[in-house]
Amino acid sequence: MSEHYYSKKPQTASDRRTIEAELRGYRFRLTSDAGVFSRDGVDYGSRVLIGMMEFAEDAEVLDLGCGYGPIGLAAARLAPRGHVTMLDINERAVALARENAAANGIVNATVKQSDLYEAVAGRRFDVILSNPPIRAGKAVVHRILSEARDHLRPGGALWIVIQNKQGAPSAKAKLQEVFGEDAVAEIGKDKGYRIYRAEMV
Ligand SMILES: C[S@@+](CC[C@H](N)C(=O)[O-])C[C@H]1O[C@@H](n2cnc3c(N)ncnc32)[C@H](O)[C@@H]1O
């Protein structure tokens, strides 16, 4: 059965894999499964974002659409005096991200099931990271971008990775509309992937 990776409750039979990955110099052993995004290895776009993201060691970070956890768990290593909140709509992804945090000895991350920002209503962060769910549609992706403003502290920033052919120009235009033209920067690109940073000024 083919099923999209953003089901709340995947029905696909479990087929777990172990992934060994080095992210920003830290070794991770991650478990993934059928019914979650990029089961066979850390997604290239996620790797590009992980390679470029920058924040303070004590940052309060949000990883929106965490999947089995590569971005949020790498962020937790980079912010050892901070904290990472990891959210996903997919309950299988949430369980895996929790398991992966524990298996890698990460104590400064919390994982919750959430539709977009629902579980962090009223909370603000220094950093929001996302490899957005393109397949869920433009409306969902644009909500991630526009509602980020309500969840960032002044001086905080949203970092996203998006493929050129999967809507990078439209995402950049949306970020400029929401954050202001001068607040949005293209931090880098790798193959077809762009990294955008939008700052809350
Ligand atoms: C492109 S994947 C990235 C996953 C993970 N960050 C990674 O790097 O492997 C996007 C994630 O967004 C999640 N997602 C889709 N719709 C969502 C929603 N409405 N609220 C929260 N998460 C959602 C999907 O389940 C998926 O795990």
**Residue 29 within any structural domain of the chain:** yes
Using one digit for the tens of pLDDT, what is the confidence trace for 85-135? Answer: 999 999 999 999 999 999 999 999 999 999 999 999 999 999 999 999 999
Ligand 1 centre distance from Cα of residue 169 (Å): 20
Q: How many CA atoms lie within 13 A of 18 on its CB side?
A: 5
- pLDDT at 111 (0 to 100): 98
What token pair was written down for 96?
A: 């895996």
- Average pLDDT of the chain is 96
Residue 192: exposed, middle, or buried by beta-carbon count in 10 A (0-12, 13-18, 19+)?
A: middle
**Residue 1 within any structural domain of the chain:** no
Ligand 1 centre distance from Cα of residue 108 (Å): 20
Which protein residue's CA is at the shortest distance from atom 2 of ligand 1?
133
Which residues are CB-contacts of 84 (< 8 A; sequence separation ≥ 6)?
A: 61, 62, 63, 72, 73, 75, 76, 108, 109, 110
Ligand 1 centre distance from Cα of residue 16 (Å): 18
Using one digit for the tens of pLDDT, what is the confidence trace for 35-54? Answer: 999 999 999 999 999 999 99
Range of the structural domain that residue 44 is part of: 17-199
**Residue 92 within any structural domain of the chain:** yes
**Residue 6 within any structural domain of the chain:** no
Q: How confident is the model at residue 1 (pLDDT cuts 50, 70, 90)?
A: very low
Using one digit for the tens of pLDDT, what is the confidence trace for 129-147? Answer: 999 999 999 999 999 999 9
- pLDDT at 5 (0 to 100): 76
Strands 60-64 and 83-88, by their bridges, are parallel
SS3 94: helix
User: Residues lining ligand 1, CB < 6 A?
Assistant: 5-6, 37-38, 43, 46, 65-67, 70-71, 87-90, 93, 114-116, 131, 133, 136, 140
**Residue 178 within any structural domain of the chain:** yes
54-68: average pLDDT: 98
**Residue 188 within any structural domain of the chain:** yes
What token pair was written down for 166?
A: 């999967």
pTM over 0.85: yes
Which residues are CB-contacts of 48 (< 8 A; sequence separation ≥ 6)?
A: 161, 188, 190, 191, 193, 195
What is the tally of structural domains in the chain?
Answer: 1
- pLDDT at 196 (0 to 100): 98
Strands 125-130 and 109-113, by their bridges, are unpaired
DSSP annotation of 65 reads S
**Residue 2 within any structural domain of the chain:** no
Q: Tell me, what amino acid is at 31?
A: T
Q: How confident is the model at residue 29 (pLDDT cuts 50, 70, 90)?
A: very high
Identify which of 5, 33, 62, 145 to mutate to test ligand 1's pocket (most ligand atoms within 8 A of the CB). Answer: 5
- Ligand 1 atom closest to 46 (CA): 8
Is 192's pLDDT higher than 80?
yes
Which protein residue's CA is at the shortest distance from atom 13 of ligand 1?
65
**Residue 10 within any structural domain of the chain:** no
Ligand 1 centre distance from Cα of residue 5 (Å): 8
CATH of the domain at 132: 3.40.50.150
- pLDDT at 8 (0 to 100): 87
Is 177's pLDDT higher than 60?
yes
- pLDDT at 146 (0 to 100): 98
What token pair was written down for 56?
A: 């303070």
- pLDDT at 4 (0 to 100): 76
d(CA 86, CA 178): 23
Percent of the chain with pLDDT over 90: 94
- pLDDT at 3 (0 to 100): 65
138-163: average pLDDT: 97
SS3 14: coil
